[in-house]
Structure 1
Amino acid sequence: MELYLFALIVLFAIAVADLIVGVSNDAVNFLNSSVGSRVAPRTTIMIIASLGILAGVTFSSGMMEVARKGIFHPQYFLMPELITIFIAVMITDILLLDLFNTFGMPTSTTVSIVFELLGAAIAVSIFKISQNGQALLSLGDYINTGKALAIISGILLSVGIAFVCGVAAQFTTRLIFTFDFAPRLRRYGGLWGGMALSMITYFILIKGAKGASFMTADAVAWINTHTWTILGAGFIFFTILFQVVILTTRINILKPIVLAGTFALAMAFAANDLVNFIGVPLAGFHAFTLAKATAAPLTTPMAALQAKVHTSTLFLLGAGAIMVVTLWLSRKARTVTQTEIRLGRQEEGLERFDSSHLSRVMVRMVTGLFEGGRKLCPIAVRRWMRDRLDAEDYLPAPGYDGKTPEFDLLRASVNLMVASALISWATSMKLPLSTTYVTFMVAMGTSLADQAWGLESAVYRVTGVLAVIGGWFFTALMAFTVSLVFAFALAYLDGIALVGLLALVAFIIFRNFKIHATREKADREIQRLDLKRVTDIHFAVRTCFEHSGGFLEKVSGDISTCFDGILAQDRKRLKQLRHETSKLQRWSNIIVANIFKTLRLTQQADLRDAGKYASVILALQEITESMRDLILRCHVHTANQHSGLLPSQKEELSDVRRHAEALLRDAADMLLARKAFVYREIAAHYVNLKETLDDLDRKQIERIRSGASKTRLSILFYGINNAVLKISEQVLHLLTIFDKTLTLKENAEVDAGNGPSPAGQA
């Protein structure tokens, strides 16, 4: 029994870690709408969400049944076998969830726990069957296949239902209120607020109360018999309250609705998903306690686990406290939240995902369907709907921290109302509905209905949604497979396997922590470049050129790495550099997008100078394409195991490298520090580079004639030189534009009496 007592302690220790990684992934479910709409300062949002979690954990008692008897029949297992199942499940869960958190992908903790229980139970059942000499067909006696299939089908069905409900609710709401919803909110906002809060109250405090650990049978029965009375009274009370608030104050009633919805969804999350984190350890604890009370604890079947067990409220509150602390401190929670917010934001901008063939096909199909539907709809109805859904003048108010919200409060309120209603209803029915699936698909549905997926961003957003949904299937497959393997290992190797698996967990989590820190740093660098909304054209121009300086600094570093790789025939270094070319492309795209935003700020009198911005765009694109071509040529040459550069070619390319790096380094310094442009210094690097390349052309021709340089080697040599020359030409062109812009700006400031700019002083 000492070994299983130790295993039980390990089980609870892993449960604490699982709570941390689980909340980091599931925080997106209730923070997405409030954070995306910036309804209040982040501290206020976090306090409300924390209170919702603490209230919700007391509603989870009924859900704990799933871990004990939802997937397998406990009467056919012994306590040691159940402990083996539970440890395999928890180790798999923490590894899988932490992996998704590291890459900022929301996944379902419910799906993971269900398939982990299924995989581990099958493994232990097969082990038990082989030990007892039974036929494999008897596996069905051990697994609760009917319940497992019902859970899985219910989870998958929730994806479609949530998306359709999100589209329908947001489309109807937007038709009523439009994007300019403030005037209409004053007319019938009271009815909207009454309906929203009465629904939240009904699904959370009434339907969800059935599973609360402190609710008596009489209280639940009274609530069930007076449901419509309570619901109607809530609607009348909240409608009158909100209408009075609208008429007598300047309070935006959508803010208390969104904050109340955040509380409600946090409560629903805790009520529904707590079983995913502590249900398995509590089941192990109950199995150990029941076995210890028998005369033969290691050989007594666990039929007693079929009975209903009332979970202690202290256990639940302790788990809730850990969840709240994680919510405040976890950086991975913010990473996962940002993924969903970016996919649903109203405006186009920096996209995390690239387009894919499948997303392009889907966008074309949906566009075709909409075009066909338009022809069937009367012109008058189309015109009316177009006017009601016109988002051209959409301009959300700045948030509390001065930043622009990703979407407005009206959409945020719909997200929360629909998602909390669906999740709370499932909780009351004791169905382990995936809160992640529901909230994510509702958010994507409302985004589609709000025309957030315009033609400029649809393929990227659809790719992101497909990537997340694909990750859900990956979750199910990996949860089942890994837990099955771990359970087999524990069944055959006992303590040795347990120690080995714990070491594996520690190593992988530490490695994931380092990967996340690196990705987070890179993402901050990219996000820092995005100007989002700007109103000061001088600030925008200055920032664009400073970002261009950082871009050239990055190009200089990549050229240095590329030359190191090709001169040393280092395939791995070039392969890594090739994988990072997308970062350079994203950097260039952001600067180009910022330039477009700057162009929108130009006055009619400034349009004669607007051509210089187009020249900057062309220069950046040429530099990026030439850099990509240079890296690709070098990597392909080494990957194909072609012969390396000749000693004479290496020496000559070192001269080319020296001139190119000097030009890029000085150009980057001038743009970053906004120094006065000195043409002769920069041009001297270019002249020296051009003369060097002309001389190298003659030497290469001699090598070709003598046969010293083979065809592929010659192609590589000329390709490198040509790419470096193009980059240098465009950098020189970029600096020429920078000089003209700075001079114009300085003259304008002098004429206005502001004195010379810092660049002029330099």
Structure 2
Amino acid sequence: MEIYLFIIIILFVLAVSDLIVGVGNDAVNFLNSAFGSRVAPRHVILLVASAGIIAGTIFSSGMMEVARKGIFHPQHFYFPELMTIFLAVMLTDIILLDFFNTFGMPTSTTVSIVFELLGSAFAVSIIKIISNSQDMSMLVEYINTSKAIAIISGILLSIVVAFSVGAIVQFIARMVFTFDYKKKMARYGGLFGGVAMTSVTFFIVIKGAKGAAFMTPETKHWIMHNADMIILFSLIIWSLIFQFLYLLKVNILRIIVLLGTFALALAFAANDLVNFIGVPIAGLNSFQIAQGLDNPTTTLMEQLQGKIATDPWLLILAGFVMIGTLYFNKKARGVIQTSLDLGRQYEGDERFSSSPLARSIVRANLALSDGLIKLLPDSFIKFLRKRFEGANKSLFDEDGNPVSFDLIRASVNLIVASILISIATSWKLPLSTTYVTFMVAMGTSLSDKAWGRDSAVYRINGVITVIGGWFFTAFIAFTIAGIFATIIYFGKLIAIIGLSLLAVYFIYRTHKLHSKQIEAEEPEEAIEVGEETSVLSTLDKINNRYKKFFSNIIKYLGSTLDAFAKFERDVLKENVVMNKKIKKTANKIVNEIIFIIKNLSDSEVKKGRRYGKIMGATQDISYNVRSLIQMLFDHVNNNHRPLPPEKNNNIVKVNDALTNQLKAAMDYFEDNSKYPEFVKKTELITNLLQELDEQHVNMLRNESTGDYSSRGNMLYLDILTTADNISSQLFHLVTVINKNYVSLKEQNGKD
């Protein structure tokens, strides 16, 4: 039994790791609405979610049987076979979820664990059938096929229903409250709060009653058969409470969002805790049963079919591990950010690119929209447009900080998700909390016109990518778990050690990759624009973006030119990939300038400020830097002849002069009085480029070009021209910004 004790230890080590990885993925389910609306400071949101998690762990004991007997029939398996299944599942789960977390893609831990159990049990069942010379029809005796079919159906159903219901409810809510919802709260706030909290109350009671170990069967029976009365009294009581709170000037929407966050966190812990520790607990139960058997390796595990109590302290301990992950796991923030990026109200730098399918969907919807506008009366169209006035305006919280969406949408996200999960639970339908919460959020963002003409194709492609990832999860989970189970079945201890080391190595590699992604992203404090924000203060903040932008250009241009001189293709290739970073930084700066201008008063935006020139110069600098890096890589990648040493030396001189100009620009952003120094550096590189251009033209006229080809001549001239473009646009950029500063300071002095 020593080897099986070793497996149990591995299972629980993996359980802790799986909790950390899994919570990193599932945190988006209950934190998305609270973070997106900035309903409260981060520590308050996490505190509320933590309370929900601890409450949910108490209700989760009833779900643990899913891992023991929900997907396969344990009475047909021997103890060693079950341990093979459980170990294969846990190894697959931690690798798969960590992979998705690394790339910030939300996936369903429920679907992953179900299909891992299905895949590993399927593999072991096939081995048993072949070994015993049985017919393949015996597979249904080993696998709970009806459960698997029900889960797959639930996946498809939850995607469509959650998206549709979320879109419809948000449309109705916005029609009632509009985007200027604060004026409507006096009339409808109490009722809205009553409906919201009734759904949350019903959600907590139904979810709790299903899995609470401390509730008697009689209590559960009474709750299930008096649901209508619970709903009615909750609606009346909560409506009165919220109307009273509104009269006391309390922001009732904040209370709704925070309590909804608590409810979904409870649901996550109650419903999804089994996804992380259910399999190790099932393994522990099997080990405890096997210890009481005379010959556990040849005795079928029929006892797993019965009810087995789970130690509540084990569940609570798991809850605290989950809470720790919420506070410290950086990958969790990446998954949450993906959901927020796809649902935010404002446009900006999009996380996903376009695709043919997304473009086709957008074109079809535009055609449908145009058709409906022609069919519907003009008066109704005008009414709709009036109700949705302000959809394209930037949103802010009470402190003037930009938010992804307002509290109305955050409340609807939580209400609809709570109701749908409650209904599915009461009807005993298989459901993924990830699918429901994500698709509800996407449906509400669609109704709120968050997917405008300029962002729809990217947002839709993002949703398609996430949904595709869900189905990819099911296929990969089934396949890898089956392969791992087969390897463990035949490889025994050597296979167990080998696969465990593989999992450790994989997590190490993804951690390194994620660290590089974090470094590349360079997360920065958001530019905040409130009603009292001035142009001068906001431009000061954007200057910090420019300093990092120029710093990256210096870094990658220097590295590229050095690698070009040495013909180091790998370094050049890596820098081409990092071109995206330069483009993304430039786009972020431009989007923030647009964002600021849209939210400034008319008196603050005057003629002569040339904000368009600033944005254009920023994009031109980005484009020319990326073009220069690309052309140097293409030359080396196509194995063309190197440039002669003297030309490479000239290129180094150009890079040094350009670097000095960029550093002078960075110094200017630190101290505006250093503008004359920047002008001097600009004159130096301008004179150098003019001199080198004349030298090269004279060389072409008077000397043979035998040392290098016409392609080399073209490349050299392109390098000089591109460097000149970068220098010129940099000069225009800093000059316009300097004029703005002088003008603004003069204006502030007069004021």
TM range (shorter): over 0.9
Counterparts of 1:193 and 1:450 in 2: how far apart (Å)? 20
Cα drift, residue 208 of structure 1: 4.0
Cα drift, residue 439 of structure 1: 0.4
Tell me the equivalent position of 2:181: 181
Is the Cα contact below 8 Å between 1:268 and 1:424 reproduced in 2?
no
Q: In terms of mean alpha carbon deviation, does 580-589 or 389-398 score higher?
A: 389-398
1:461 aligned to 2:459? yes
Counterparts of 1:713 and 1:130 in 2: how far apart (Å)? 67
Instruction: Name the SS of the counterpart of 1:580 in structure 2.
Output: helix
Corresponding letter in the other structure for 2:503: V
Tell me the equivalent position of 2:35: 35
Is the Cα contact below 8 Å between 2:682 and 2:727 reproduced in 1?
no
Q: In terms of mean alpha carbon deviation, does 13-22 or 52-61 score higher?
A: 52-61
* Structure 2 unmatched ranges of 5 or more: none
The count of corresponding residues between Structure 1 and Structure 2 is: 747
Tell me the equivalent position of 1:759: none
Cα drift, residue 392 of structure 1: 4.9
Cα drift, residue 290 of structure 1: 2.1
Tell me the equivalent position of 1:550: 548
Q: In terms of mean alpha carbon deviation, does 340-349 or 169-178 score higher?
A: 340-349
Is the Cα contact below 8 Å between 1:676 and 1:739 reproduced in 2?
no
Deviation per residue, 1:223-268 (Å, 9 max, x gap): 2232222221111111222222223x10122222112111111111
Cα drift, residue 697 of structure 1: 3.4
Matches within 5 A, 1:68-87: 68-87=68-87
Is the Cα contact below 8 Å between 1:571 and 1:635 reproduced in 2?
yes
Corresponding letter in the other structure for 1:510: Y
Is the Cα contact below 8 Å between 2:21 and 2:94 reproduced in 1?
yes
Cα drift, residue 702 of structure 1: 5.9
Tell me the equivalent position of 1:383: 382
Cα drift, residue 137 of structure 1: 5.3
* Structure 1 unmatched ranges of 5 or more: 753-762
Matches within 5 A, 1:248-397: 249-392=248-391, 394=393, 396-397=395-396
Tell me the equivalent position of 1:568: 566
Cα drift, residue 110 of structure 1: 0.8
Q: In terms of mean alpha carbon deviation, does 129-138 or 141-150 score higher?
A: 129-138
Corresponding letter in the other structure for 2:228: W
TM-score, normalisation: structure 1 = 0.93
TM-score, normalisation: structure 2 = 0.94
Counterparts of 1:607 and 1:667 in 2: how far apart (Å)? 25
Is the Cα contact below 8 Å between 2:84 and 2:488 reproduced in 1?
yes
Corresponding letter in the other structure for 1:280: V
1:513 aligned to 2:478? no
Counterparts of 2:386 and 2:596 in 1: how far apart (Å)? 29
Tell me the equivalent position of 1:677: 675
Q: 1:694 to 1:549 in 2, by over 3 A?
A: farther
Q: 1:168 to 1:681 in 2, by over 3 A?
A: closer
Counterparts of 1:378 and 1:742 in 2: how far apart (Å)? 51
Matches within 5 A, 1:43-442: 43-136=43-136, 138-206=138-206, 208-247=208-247, 249-392=248-391, 394=393, 396-399=395-398, 403-442=401-440
Is the Cα contact below 8 Å between 2:203 and 2:418 reproduced in 1?
yes
Q: 1:39 to 1:548 in 2, by over 3 A?
A: closer
Is the Cα contact below 8 Å between 1:109 and 1:276 reproduced in 2?
yes
Q: 1:269 to 1:652 in 2, by over 3 A?
A: same
Q: 1:393 to 1:284 in 2, by over 3 A?
A: closer
Q: 1:3 to 1:430 in 2, by over 3 A?
A: farther
Q: In terms of mean alpha carbon deviation, does 614-623 or 9-18 score higher?
A: 614-623
Corresponding letter in the other structure for 2:469: G
Cα drift, residue 603 of structure 1: 4.3
Corresponding letter in the other structure for 2:498: G
Cα drift, residue 664 of structure 1: 2.5
Q: 1:589 to 1:732 in 2, by over 3 A?
A: same
Corresponding letter in the other structure for 1:202: F
Instruction: Name the SS of the counterpart of 1:569 in structure 2.
Output: coil
Q: 1:280 to 1:246 in 2, by over 3 A?
A: same
Tell me the equivalent position of 2:643: 645
Tell me the equivalent position of 2:686: 686
Corresponding letter in the other structure for 1:148: A
Cα drift, residue 303 of structure 1: 2.4
Q: 1:393 to 1:688 in 2, by over 3 A?
A: closer
Deviation per residue, 1:510-535 (Å, 9 max, x gap): 2322332332243344x447556572
Corresponding letter in the other structure for 1:20: I
Cα drift, residue 706 of structure 1: 4.1
Cα drift, residue 83 of structure 1: 0.5
Counterparts of 1:38 and 1:227 in 2: how far apart (Å)? 33
Cα RMSD of the aligned pairs, angstroms, is 2.3
Tell me the equivalent position of 1:613: 611
Corresponding letter in the other structure for 1:448: L
Counterparts of 2:392 and 2:636 in 1: how far apart (Å)? 53
Counterparts of 1:373 and 1:674 in 2: how far apart (Å)? 55
Counterparts of 1:260 and 1:204 in 2: how far apart (Å)? 11
Q: In terms of mean alpha carbon deviation, does 286-295 or 168-177 score higher?
A: 286-295
Corresponding letter in the other structure for 1:609: G
Deviation per residue, 1:635-658 (Å, 9 max, x gap): 122222223323343233233333
Counterparts of 1:81 and 1:392 in 2: how far apart (Å)? 58
- Aligned equivalent of 1:443, options 425, 441, 444: 441
Cα drift, residue 149 of structure 1: 1.5
Tell me the equivalent position of 1:17: 17
Q: In terms of mean alpha carbon deviation, does 648-657 or 269-278 score higher?
A: 648-657
Corresponding letter in the other structure for 1:635: F
Q: 1:691 to 1:593 in 2, by over 3 A?
A: same
Is the Cα contact below 8 Å between 2:190 and 2:240 reproduced in 1?
yes
Is the Cα contact below 8 Å between 1:208 and 1:425 reproduced in 2?
no
Is the Cα contact below 8 Å between 1:53 and 1:266 reproduced in 2?
yes
Is the Cα contact below 8 Å between 1:555 and 1:627 reproduced in 2?
yes
- Aligned equivalent of 1:495, options 493, 496, 499: 493
Instruction: Name the SS of the counterpart of 2:297 in structure 1.
Output: coil
Deviation per residue, 1:541-593 (Å, 9 max, x gap): 33344433432232222211221121111111111111111211121122222
Corresponding letter in the other structure for 2:379: A
Q: Sequence identity of aligned pairs in percent?
A: 46
Q: 1:606 to 1:154 in 2, by over 3 A?
A: closer
Counterparts of 2:260 and 2:591 in 1: how far apart (Å)? 35
Is the Cα contact below 8 Å between 1:348 and 1:457 reproduced in 2?
yes
Q: 1:728 to 1:285 in 2, by over 3 A?
A: same
Counterparts of 2:48 and 2:185 in 1: how far apart (Å)? 24
Counterparts of 1:355 and 1:528 in 2: how far apart (Å)? 27
Counterparts of 1:727 and 1:393 in 2: how far apart (Å)? 34
